[in-house]
Chains A and B, each alone.
Chain A
Amino acid sequence: MRKSRFAALACALSLGVAACGGSAPPGAADGGDGGGSGETITIGSLHPLSGAAAADGQQMDNGAQLAVEAINEAGGIESLDGAQLELASADTQGDPQVGQTEAQRLIDDGVVGLVGTYQSAVSSNVAAVAERNQVPFVIDVSSADQILEQGYTNVFRVQPSSTVLGERGADFLAAVAEGAGSDLPRVAILHEQGPFGTAVKDSFSAQAESLGMEITNVASYDPASVSDFTTQITAVEASGADVLMVAGYYRDGVLVAQAVDTVQPGLDAVFGVANGAFDVPQFPEEVGAAGEGYFDANYHLDNTNPETQELAALYEERFGDPIRTAAVLSYDAVRVIADALERAGDADPTAVRDAIAETELDSLLAADGPISFTETGENENATPILMQVIDGAVVQVYPEDKAETEPVYPAFPSG
């Protein structure tokens, strides 16, 4: 009895807090006939604003907010008489159940589309809700392949899928090793055990083996509870690997760097694939010299794009924190919906969905081309690029057209 009352209270509390962020008047759900001047159109933003992923979640919500402001400043949605956009932010707490309820609430409030959510498990649930309600859902971050394998017609993804990340990661590793005149490395793999890490590991090892690399050792771990990697790194050393591939999140990435520094396994490189730590600006700050030379093949904001540089500067000025790639993805996801509204000239979710399917929009991320969705909703031009920590900063090193400097391989002088 008491327990259920408490649960209800907790729900009510979190709903209340979330509602404060976006107490928007119902948007234009019923305004399917083109809207009028001064009308406000609401976009839902679903991210983990509290909980373990709050650092990324808050960045992403900020990114979405900046996109809305930029569009409003540029005159709103012109085809709808300059209708203004508004962001309704909700906190998923990283919990699939909460994400599902919040998505339904936002849809009931009349949002024209949703962006989110960071965790693949949350995105899966939100995708189901969006599909049921025929409201478009643009995924900014969530890599699990399965989300878009359900035959949904209202779900789109801006970032590359796990499969693309793993395959390109293996390509990059081979290219960098060959470019440095080294033999193809023997690779040990350390991955988080969830769907994300497992999918990246599978596609990476398949591609690496087809390129002629030998996989010496595969180990997985639970990112929520792991507290030390010295045993795993000692096993990597014993396997005789030249390169350690790591697919995981931030906290565990830091622990890996600390363990590699302690054990000194004599590797040529530590090579992250879609790693949540090695390409984050805070990583070199936290681990210091231990992180020098770390690679990460990951989707990333394009430092060579002037528009992205502008956004990064604006973000740092507004929020006093260097922008992360996740925030740029949210920024792009909101732009996708705004662009669709513009072309549809209609704030009806179904019309917006149809317009999103026809998207051709330049991305602020490093990509092969403009954002453009396949039949299943994948962004066909999404790609990872290769970053490396050089002199305490994360820089783009490969492919050449996105590179700020040359990759350093072998990455460790002692290697």
Chain B
Amino acid sequence: MSSAPDSSARAVEDPDSAVAEPAEVAGDGQPEGAPATMPAAPRARWARSVWVRVGIGAVLVAVAVLVAYLRAGNGEVVGQAVVTGLLTGGIYGLVAMGLTLIFGVLDIVNFAHGAFLALALYITVVMVNEFGLYPYLALLISVPVMFLLGAAVQRFVLAGAMGKPLENQLLITLGLALLIDNGLLLFFGPNPQSVDIPGDQGVQILGAVATVSRLLAFGVALLLAALIYLLLQRTRLGTAIRAVAANEAGAQLVGIDTRRIFAATFAIGTACAGAAGVLVAPLVTIEPTTGELFNIIAFVVVVLGGMGNVVGALVGGLIIGLTEQLGALYLPGQSPLLSVFIVFVLVLFLRPQGLFGRGTT
């Protein structure tokens, strides 16, 4: 139990970090599912601090948009940047959700997440191009397949490395990523593939345009975040997952089979990559290395949002998406990653535990 005592770093959807939606807080002032033992004063203080953070965030976004407008001098361009930023950010959040779950509960830096995403992309390609399935119906195949694969990988490959030094798991997942990437290269060849959505038109939103497939991916990202949030907060499985994340030894003492919880969590995280793969498929050129594109951003989003926090991943994704697009207006000719990492470093400087991560105090 090498990781048991200092479990505060591994906070999954712990009640006092989970209230990303202000509406939740507004409802009753205290999130449901908060342990009854929590003293009232810290809870109130914490609720205030979330409001303060949300307020500061809103003001910062407004200022960022205003400055972008002054810099670009064209409302249409800024409007498009905001819409594109939010939609792209939703996709980043979608990809990062599964990763953050695995990070938070299993304490595994899963470098294979991008490769799992690539696998889901190719499942979609096969379903659509070989079997003529409507692209989004591939979800019915991809999600269960990736769920089972995730469970199998955790059970048979990673289980032996649980609780071992970080490098063990890190190297295993890195090896898995190489294996999957190059397996795809072997079986499908290096030529780029694509998935077409019939009638994928651009639609107008507030003077900007976006394709239906992007809007759909964004919508499902929100839905998925809500589903996982409910799963963690309202079900026995979710409670057990949170318990394991909070204190592994304690969870074992109260009769939770931690090995099953590890497998289930890794499977859910991988299934998220499966869902993301299907939704992202129409938006990208599909190559064996496509998953790697999302790896760096996904890790940034996970750390920014607070490790293990699904809602944090979504909000982090939106922030990164907006930063990329607005940053391109501030600093034309620079890599969007420059502005992303400026924001990243600033946030970590002010809140080392991430936006929604629980502090160690």
Binding site for B on A (CB under 8 A): 2-3, 6, 50-52, 54-55, 57-58, 193, 218-222, 224-228, 230-232, 234-235, 237-238, 250-251, 254-255, 258, 261-264, 282, 285-288, 321
Interface membership of B88, Cβ < 8 A: yes
**Cβ–Cβ contact B191 & A55, under 8 A:** yes
B192 touches A282 (CB 8 A): yes
Selected A-B contacts with CB under 8 Å, 23 pairs: A52-B287, A54-B185, A57-B190, A58-B189, A220-B332, A222-B335, A225-B335, A225-B336, A225-B337, A227-B284, A230-B208, A231-B84, A231-B85, A238-B74, A250-B285, A251-B284, A251-B285, A254-B285, A255-B285, A258-B211, A261-B202, A264-B202, A321-B191
Asked if residues A220 and B333 are in contact (CB atoms below 8 Å), the reply is yes
Q: Do residues B84 and A230 form an inter-chain contact, with CB atoms below 8 A?
A: yes
**Bound CA span A282–B191, Å:** 8
From A6, A222, A237, A263, B202 is in contact (CB under 8 Å) with A263
Chain A's interface: helix, strand, loop or mixed, by majority?
helix
Any chain A CB within 8 A of the CB of B8? no
Contact A251 B325 (CB under 8 A): no
- Enumerate chain A residues within 8 angstroms of B325, measured Cβ to Cβ: 231
| Residue of A3, A235, A282 touching B77 (CB-CB under 8 A) | A235
Whether A286 and B337, one on each chain, are in contact in the complex, defined by CB atoms closer than 8 angstroms, is no
Known A254-B285, A261-B202; contact A193-B335, beta-carbon cutoff 8 A: yes
The answer on a CB contact under 8 Å between B88 and A228 is: yes
Contact A193 B72 (CB under 8 A): no
Nearest CB of chain B from residue A264's CB, rounded to whole Å: 7
Q: Hey, which chain B residues are within 8 Å of A224, CB to CB?
A: 293
Further pairs besides A55-B192, A227-B293, A264-B202: 18, Cβ < 8 Å: A50-B185, A52-B287, A52-B289, A54-B289, A220-B334, A225-B297, A225-B337, A228-B87, A228-B88, A230-B83, A230-B209, A231-B77, A231-B329, A234-B81, A235-B74, A251-B285, A263-B80, A321-B191
Contacts of A321 in B (CB 8 A): 189, 191
Contact of A251 among B210, B287, B288 (CB under 8 A): B287
A58 and B74 form a contact (CB under 8 A): no
Tally of contact residues, B, Cβ under 8 A? 47
**What is the minimal beta-carbon distance from B191 to any residue of chain A, in angstroms?**
5
What is the interface of chain B, defined by CB distance below 8 A to chain A?
A: 72, 74, 76-77, 80-81, 83-85, 87-88, 91, 167, 171, 182, 185, 189-192, 194, 196, 202, 208-211, 214, 283-285, 287-289, 292-293, 296-297, 325, 328-329, 332-337
Q: A52 to B184, alpha carbons, bound, how many Å?
A: 12
> Which chain A residue lies CB-closest to B88?
A228
User: Which of B185, B211, B328, B337 contacts A231 (CB under 8 A)?
Assistant: B328
Task: Provide the residues of chain A in CB contact with B194, threshold 8 Å.
Answer: 254, 285-287
- B167 x A222 contact (CB < 8 A): no
Residues of A within 8 A of B191 (CB): 55, 282, 321
Contacts of B333 in A (CB 8 A): 193, 218-220
Q: How far is the CB of A308 from chain B (nearest CB, A)?
A: 21
Question: Across the interface, which residues of A come within 8 angstroms of B283, CB to CB?
Answer: 227-228
Chain A neighbourhood of B288, CB < 8 A: 54
Residue of chain A at shortest CB distance from B75: A238
Q: How many whole Å from A100's CB to the nearest CB in chain B? A: 21
Most chain A beta-carbon contacts within 10 A, residue among B72, B84, B211, B284: B84
* In the bound complex, CA of A401 to CA of B206 (Å): 49
Residues of the B chain whose Cβ atoms lie less than 8 Å from the Cβ of A282: 191-192
Interface pair A58/B192, CB less than 8 Å apart: no
Give Cα A294 to B91, complex, Å: 29
Residues of A within 8 A of B190 (CB): 54-55, 57-58
Residue of B at shortest CB range from A287?
B194
Bound together, the chains give a CA A409 to CA B77 distance in angstroms of: 27
- In the complex, what's the smallest C-beta–C-beta distance from B17 to chain A, in angstroms? 28
Shortest distance from the beta carbon of B298 to any chain A beta carbon, whole Å? 12
Across the interface, do A227 and B74 meet the contact criterion of CB distance under 8 Å? no
With A54-B288, A238-B76, A282-B191 already in contact, the answer to whether A288 and B335 are too (CB < 8 A) is no
Bound CA–CA A193/B191 (angstroms): 24
Are A232 and B328 interface neighbours, CB within 8 A? yes
**Which residues of chain B have C-beta atoms less than 8 A from A57's C-beta?**
190
With a cutoff of 8 Å between Cβ atoms, the chain B residues found around residue A228 in the complex are 84, 87-88, 214, 283
Taking a contact as CB atoms under 8 Å apart, the answer to whether B182 and A50 are in contact is: yes
| A285 proximity list for chain B (CB < 8 A) | 194
Other-chain residue from A221, A222, A234 in contact with B80 (beta carbon distance below 8 A) = A234
Contacts of B285 in A (CB 8 A): 250-251, 254-255, 286
Interchain CA distance A250-B171 in the complex, whole Å: 31
